[in-house]
Amino acid sequence: MYELPSLPYAPDALAPHISEKTISFHYGKHHQGYVDKLNAAIGDGDLKGKSLEDIILAAKERSDAGLFNNAAQIWNHNFFWNSMSPEATSPSGALASAIDDAFGGVEGFNEKFTAVATGHFGSGWAWLVARKDGLEIKSTSDADLPLAHGERALLCCDVWEHAYYLDYQNARPAFVGVFLKELINWDFAAENMAK
Ligand code: MN3
């Protein structure tokens, strides 16, 4: 049985930027729903007890879209909650240098991330990924994620409508702006970069 991980903060900790009501649906219903569907799909099959990463890669290998989508959405949401913090953070050390090299600084990062996250058509995710030759910002559609492409994720933002509709209605740019200005967890990105 895969279990829904605890949130890294209280359900109202990101308010007013992300309301407790949004968390109650997004974490309590959507994220929980992916967990329930994954458990139903795995049952007593050969993937029982495997890590989420192993399940995602096996599902991709088998072209099992249902399994892939639910497992990947669990991973993505686990990662998304940790990509935000109620405390203000900023890039430091090796991460700050890599941000400078790739984007000319945090402002350049914010501009590129905003363009990618708001420009992504339909449901998906905006990511900061680390490659051998430096950092890159990209988006993926639906449940797709960097892990399925051999890339290491540092941060992500959920741009499915359910992530922002209750608080910002259709205004994805407003949500992305708040994510970057108020919520982004650079300490989490630094931890992922050091792995
Ligand atoms: Mn979501």
* CATH number for 173: 3.55.40.20
103 within some domain: yes
Output the CA 66–ligand 1 centroid distance in Å: 16
Q: Do residues 25 and 75 both lie within one domain?
A: yes
Confidence at residue 52, expressed as pLDDT on a 0 to 100 scale: 96
pLDDT at 116 (0 to 100): 98
How far is ligand 1, taken at its centre, from the CA of residue 137, in Å? 19
Range 98-121 burial, b when 16+ CB lie within 10 A, else e:
bbeebbeebeebbebbbebbbebe
| Residue 29 identity (one-letter amino acid) | K
The Å distance, Cα 5 to ligand 1 centre, comes to 15
In a domain, 11, yes or no: no
For ligand 1, the distance from its centroid to the CA atom of residue 189, given in whole angstroms, is 19
CA 175 to chain centre: 14
In the reported structure, the alpha carbon of residue 43 is separated from the centroid of ligand 1 by a whole-number distance in angstroms of 24
Residue 13 inside a domain? The answer is no
Average pLDDT (52-62) is: 97
Is residue 141 domain-shared with residue 75, that is, in the same domain? no
Say yes or no: 154 and 106 in one domain: yes
Q: Assess whether pLDDT exceeds 90 at residue 184.
A: yes
108, 188: one domain: yes
Q: What pLDDT digit, counting tens, does each position of 121-173 carry?
A: 999 999 999 998 999 999 999 999 999 999 999 999 999 999 999 999 999 99
- pLDDT of residue 63 exceeding 90, the answer is yes
Total domains in the chain come to 2
Alpha carbon distance 137, 115 (integer Å): 10
Indicate if 102 and 45 belong to the same structural domain.
Answer: no
**pLDDT bracket for residue 185 (50, 70, 90):** very high
CA of 77 relative to ligand 1 center, distance in Å? 6
CA gap 64, 84 in Å, rounded? 30
Same domain for 119 and 71, yes or no, is: no
Q: Which of 34, 60, 82 is the last residue of a domain?
A: 82
Distance 173 CA to ligand 1 centre (A): 16
Distance of CA 91 to the CA centre of its chain: 18
Residues 179, 97 within the same domain: yes
Q: How much of the chain exceeds pLDDT 70, in percent?
A: 100
For residue 163, how far is the Cα from the chain centroid? 11
Inside any domain, residue 29: yes
Could you tell me the distance, in angstroms and rounded to a whole number, from the CA of residue 97 to the centre of ligand 1? Answer: 30
Q: How far is the CA of 123 from the centre of ligand 1 (A)?
A: 9
DSSP letters spanning the chain: ---PPPPSS-TTTTTTTS-HHHHHHIIIIIIHHHHHHHHHHHTTSTTTT--HHHHHHHHHHTT-HHHHHHHHHHHHHHHHHHTB-SS-----HHHHHHHHHHHSSHHHHHHHHHHHHHHS-SSEEEEEEEETTEEEEEEEETT--GGGGT-EEEEEEE-SGGGTHHHHTT-HHHHHHHIIIIIB-HHHHHHHHH-
What domain range is 75 assigned to?
A: 20-82
Ligand 1 centre to CA of 132 (Å) is 29
The C-alpha atoms of residue 143 and residue 26 are separated, in whole angstroms, by 15
What is the pLDDT, as a whole number, of residue 1?
A: 86
Kindly give the distance from the C-alpha atom of residue 47 to the centroid of ligand 1, in angstroms, as a whole number: 24
Per-residue pLDDT band for 104 (boundaries 50, 70, 90) equals: very high
Say if residues 103 and 109 touch (Cβ distance below 8 Å): yes
Is 1 inside a domain boundary?
A: no
Please give the mean pLDDT across all residues of the chain.
97
**Residue 109 Cα to ligand 1 middle (Å):** 23
Give the rounded percent of residues in the chain with a pLDDT score beyond 90: 98
CATH of the domain at 55: 1.10.287.990
Q: Which amino acid is at 153?
A: A
185 found inside a domain = yes
Q: What is the mean pLDDT of residues 177-185?
A: 98
C-alpha 101 – ligand 1 centre gap (Å): 31
Domain for residue 14, yes or no? no
If you measure from the C-alpha of residue 21 to the centroid of ligand 1, how many angstroms do you get, rounded to a whole number?
14
Q: Are residues 183 and 123 in the same domain?
A: yes
Same domain, 69 and 102: no
Same domain, 24 and 77: yes
Residues 29, 117 share a domain: no
Domain boundary among 32, 60, 82: 82
Q: Is residue 43 part of a domain?
A: yes
Tell me the angle at which helices 186-194 and 93-103 cross, rounded to the nearest 10 degrees.
100
